Structure 1
Amino acid sequence: MPTKKPSVDFEQSLSELEALVQQMEQGELSLEESLKAFERGIGLTRHCQERLSAAEQQVQTLMEQQGEMRLQPLDDTESEGE
């Protein structure tokens, strides 16, 4: 079954979210505009989280298929030699 392509990609959602945050931080929006922006921001945040989760699952699946399933910390600065 083919996967449905998202209507808005991650980068677009993140960019729109950043723009909304900037607008809200400036404090020039009315209460109604702020509430609408906040509501839109929540939706964008959820969309970004879902896309990141899907990407993580895809990477994990690919690693399992290659027989390379091993978890490694993102920050290698905590090695035994320190």
Structure 2
Amino acid sequence: MAGKKSSSSSKAIDFEKQLGQLEALVSDMEKGEMSLEESLKAFEQGIQITRQCQQALAEAEQKVAILTRGENGELSEQPFDPDNQ
């Protein structure tokens, strides 16, 4: 099943891509070459990316909890609905 993509949610984000964007924003801001307005926009974008990444991590933690919670210590998978927490 290599190469098969998960169809968990249309809202799913590419965590690594978002993390890369956040690192690029931080790097640009650390250079100190942005105007105040540009810095504020970059900061706002960084906050949005951080929130998306935190949500993705929370959903991943919930999925792990669902997968590991089974009877008699056995792994069992149950449907996961991130909108129904």
TM norm structure 1: 0.73
Shift >4 Å, 4+ stretches: none
Equivalent residue, structure 1, for 2:62: 57
TM norm structure 2: 0.70
Q: Which runs of 5+ in 2 are unaligned?
A: 1-6, 75-85
**Structure 2 residue 46 is matched with structure 1 residue 41:** yes
Number of aligned residues = 68
Q: Identity of paired residues, percent?
A: 51
| 1:9-48 → structure 2 map (5 Å cutoff) | 9-48=14-53
**Cα distance in 1 for residues equivalent to 2:43 and 2:31:** 14
Q: Aligned-pair RMSD on alpha carbons? A: 2.1
Deviation at 1:9, TM superposition (A): 1.3
| Structure having greater relative contact order (Cα 8 Å, sep ≥ 6) | 1
Deviation at 1:12, TM superposition (A): 1.1
- Structure of higher CA gyration radius: 1
